[in-house]
Structure 1
Amino acid sequence: MTQAVVVLPVYQPGERLVELVTDLRAVTPHTPVVVVDDGSDASSARLLRRVSDLGCTLRRLDCNRGKGSALKEGYQYVLRAHPGRDVVSADADGQHRAPDILHLAERVRDSRAIVLGVRRFDGDVPLRRRIGNALTRTLFKISTGVTATDTQTGLRAYPHELVRWLLTIPGERFDYEMAVLVAAARNRCPIEQVTVPTRYLDGNASSHFGMIIDSVRTYRPLLMPGEKPIQEVDPCYDP
């Protein structure tokens, strides 16, 4: 159904990881799924074995290094094992559904742009998420001149031409995804936004995002100077 590889960074995952992988396998059994464990403790071993038994490739970091490090580990694996394939990264805590992941895989295949699965910040959304998104959306517009509905979404698709470039972007934790988006916008890389359902299960209790420390890290890329141009990394990419 798709030529993309799905990358799922996880830390202390719960049953929703198994549910997501099961749903993906039911719809598209041959799509490669790479689960990157960001140094979870022994209590997660049984669950990780279950997703491995479902046909996922399991990559493990030796300690908790952060979401950015886990994503980079996944992207490095894709370059080695699946060269020339697009990548869709998603959170595995119940926020993202298998149909939305596969929809982004189809969009990136057709558009060759970075595709963001953006949420609507209305309805039953935690107040801190509403405020945080409004602030980062405003700062992002000031910093890059680009309007992005949801700058902090973890559901993103990247054309294969950009996978190697993703590894050059600084950031090891939650700041990494913001840094990628800022660098792409400043380089005038095409960015497409696709609305997906907003799902905050149990008040988003499964999130490992630290409100103060990780917020500071996330805002930092918005204040940094321009990044290395995409053309210097992959001259074949011509938006």
Structure 2
Amino acid sequence: MITAIIPAYNEEKTIGSVVLGAQEHVSRVIVVDDGSADQTAHIARLAGAEVIVHPHNQGKGAALKTGFKAAEDSKIIVTLDSDGQHDTKQIPRLLEPIQSDEADMVNGSRYLNGKDDDTPAYRRVGQNVLDAATNLSGDLKITDSQSGFRAFAGHTIPVFGFHSSGYTIESEMLIDAAKAGLRIKEVEIEAIYGEDSHHKANPVRHGVSVLLRIIRDMEYNRPLYYFGLPGVIMVIVGIILSIKFFTHYLSGGSITLLPTALAALLTIFGSFIAFTGLILHSISRMIERTR
């Protein structure tokens, strides 16, 4: 059985057409109404979807968690947004790599073969930052880390922890999949940007919140980068400043060694941070081997 999961929040204008379009390619459609105040749930039912209602808004991650739990007996799960951004006619593109046993998870990418001219420039800049952070945290090579148009083999369901309740879930699921060694493949998709697309979230606030969560998770996923890189930078800066201040002292330009001492302390602190990253990296690799 192929199941489509559609998280929805106040999308009464588009949810009906999204459900009807998805039904042409899957055997079951589950709409998780995440505390909508409009007729989203009612219209989704009229269109033929199974509807699960959250009594209050909990976020996209929570909606996906509910949907995955309800679809745990599915052979393949497809996720897509409820605002009409994803063309349901492209669902077979996501299904094919799983059906042919080429992938365990398929990510629909707007940027697989280059720039998406329909994406606003400011949003694409933020997207690039989030892609880089996600790829660094998960040791991935994904071109569209924030895509909500994806397909998953049924056996992958236990891999995902759904710790994030909000939009950070897109990056979290990719990182979880990478850590579990799943085969991840990207396929090209086209996005439809209507005037109401992403109208509920401030793009800057959304991007910053996702980035901060990715960086926080990097502490556990990639400690060598989280601790080691800043530590090395501190060491380099400390050494340069120490040499500069000490040379200035020897030439008579300064009557105190305090600046030199402070720079030396920065070097020592940076060394400590860098070694912390190295130790945590070694521990995480040992844990992975044990698993």
**TM-score of the pair, normalised by structure 2:** 0.68
Match for residue 132 of structure 1? Answer: 126
CA deviation profile, 1:163-208 (whole Å, cap 9, x unmatched)? 1332x23110111221111222233321100000132122x54443
For 2:8, which of 7, 10, 16 is the aligned residue?
Answer: 10
How far, CA to CA, are the matches of 2:43 and 2:162 in structure 1? Answer: 32
Match for residue 113 of structure 1? Answer: 104
RMSD (Å) for aligned C-alpha atoms: 2.4
After superposition, the Cα gap between the structure-2 partners of 1:134 and 1:10, relative to the gap in structure 1 and judged at 3 Å, is same
Match for residue 163 of structure 1? Answer: 157
Deviation at 1:210, TM superposition (A): 3.0
Match for residue 142 of structure 1? Answer: 136
For 2:22, which of 21, 24, 31 is the aligned residue?
Answer: 24
Alignment check: 8 A CA contact 1:35 1:57 kept: yes
How far, CA to CA, are the matches of 1:222 and 1:182 in structure 2? Answer: 12
For 1:36, which of 32, 36, 47 is the aligned residue?
Answer: 32
How far, CA to CA, are the matches of 2:132 and 2:47 in structure 1? Answer: 41
1:73 has 2:69 as partner: no
Match for residue 82 of structure 2? Answer: 92
Give the ranges of 4+ consecutive aligned residues of structure 1 lying more than 4 Å apart after TM superposition: none
Match for residue 174 of structure 1? Answer: 167
Alignment check: 8 A CA contact 2:134 2:171 kept: no
How far, CA to CA, are the matches of 1:184 and 1:162 in structure 2? Answer: 8
Deviation at 1:103, TM superposition (A): 2.6
Identical-pair percentage: 25
SS in 1 for 2:108: strand
Deviation at 1:5, TM superposition (A): 0.3
Mark the runs of 5 or more structure 1 residues left unpaired by the alignment: none
| Richer in helix (by share) | 2
How far, CA to CA, are the matches of 1:211 and 1:54 in structure 2? Answer: 31
Match for residue 226 of structure 1? Answer: 221
Alignment check: 8 A CA contact 1:90 1:154 kept: yes
How far, CA to CA, are the matches of 2:144 and 2:158 in structure 1? Answer: 24
Larger radius of gyration: 2
Alignment check: 8 A CA contact 1:90 1:101 kept: no
Alignment check: 8 A CA contact 1:183 1:226 kept: no
